[in-house]
Amino acid sequence: RVSRVFTFLRIVRLIGLTGRLNRFIEKDGLLYYLYVTCAVLLISASMYSISEGTHFSTALWWAITTASTVGYGDISPTTTIGRIAGVLLMLVGIGLIGVITSTITDYFSQEDNNQIQDKLDQIERENRELRKELQELNEHLNHLTK
């Protein structure tokens, strides 16, 4: 029974994490860009594999290292079609790194902005309360001096 409860709690936690991750991925079209990136990776790997006469797994390795801007240099295209595929991957890779970086930055800065706004709202409420108390004290002092 305890094992079932823990399994259930793990599933619930996983669902919550998936929801947060899904909100993060859907932000600013990142999900669509990831689809396009995967399509370009597969198409470029296919182009490279056919034009260079290599296995698809080797071509996929080349495509991923090129798109991620790592580019180990262990595999490089020699044909025109392979080089065109490389140019596509380079452009997509630079775009992907930029989109991921900006999305992560925006996500964390929004969290910070929300916390800052909550603090500012709290300070504003306290400030209103203090002004009200000061006004009441001032009125009380005016009545005492008269």
Residue 107 has pLDDT above 80, yes or no: no
Structure token pair of residue 80: 């025109």
Domain extent for 19:
2-145
Nearest in space to 86 (alpha carbons), one of 34, 36, 35, 51: 51
- Average pLDDT over the chain reads 80
Q: What gap in Å lies between CA 57 and CA 32, rounded to an integer?
A: 25
Question: Looking at the 3D structure of the chain, how many domains does it have?
Answer: 1
pLDDT digits (tens, 9 = 90+) for 30-75: 777 777 788 888 988 999 999 999 999 999 999 988 888 787 888 8
Residue 146 has pLDDT above 60, yes or no: yes
Question: Pick the residue with more confidence: 109 or 82?
Answer: 82
CATH number at residue 15: 1.10.287.70
Residue 24 has pLDDT above 60, yes or no: no
Q: What gap in Å lies between CA 11 and CA 7, rounded to an integer?
A: 6
Helix-, strand-, coil-residue percentages of the chain, each rounded to 5: 90, 0, 10
pLDDT digits (tens, 9 = 90+) for 111-120: 667 777 888 8
Residue 22 has pLDDT above 80, yes or no: no
Residue 21: its pLDDT value, please? 56
Question: 56 and 49 in contact (C-beta within 8 Å)?
Answer: yes
